[in-house]
Amino acid sequence: MSKRKLFVAGFALVLSSQSLFAGTSEVQVVGTTVSDAEITIHVENIGASARSVTVEVSVQLENGSTQVLTTSPVSVPALATASVTVTAGDTIVQIDDDPQPTPL
């Protein structure tokens, strides 16, 4: 492969990786609401296009155990907020970590 083709391929790879990482930073968890065994996670997209994500959160339950909950895929429109609710096996008493969105 010529040097020019390698440069073009490398440049395209850099551009595509930048857009991928830009998309992940444009979507963030902006709040959570806990009610008994349910946690509602509010996800904001500050980007110019819709993004689909899942969110994982670790919670402490009333029975003393820890449970990691993962949301179903949620589509967040551009410049909007979406909410998704997941249910634990017992009453949630504490959120162990900051929920983080994972792009799909």
E strand or H helix at 100: strand 100-103
**Nearest-CA neighbor of 33 among 85, 88, 100, 96?**
85
Residue count (the chain): 104
Query: Domain map of the chain by residue range?
Result: 3-103
pTM here?
Answer: 0.76
52-103 per-position pLDDT tens digit: 999 999 999 999 999 999 999 999 999 999 999 999 999 999 999 889 999 9
Across the range 19-32, mean pLDDT stands at 74
59: number of Cβ within 10 Å: 25
Strands 38-45 and 80-87: antiparallel
* Helix, strand, or coil (residue 20): helix
* Assigned architecture for domain 3-103: Sandwich (2.60)
Q: Average pLDDT, stretch 32-53?
A: 97
Structure tokens at 47: 């980007």
pLDDT of residue 97: 87
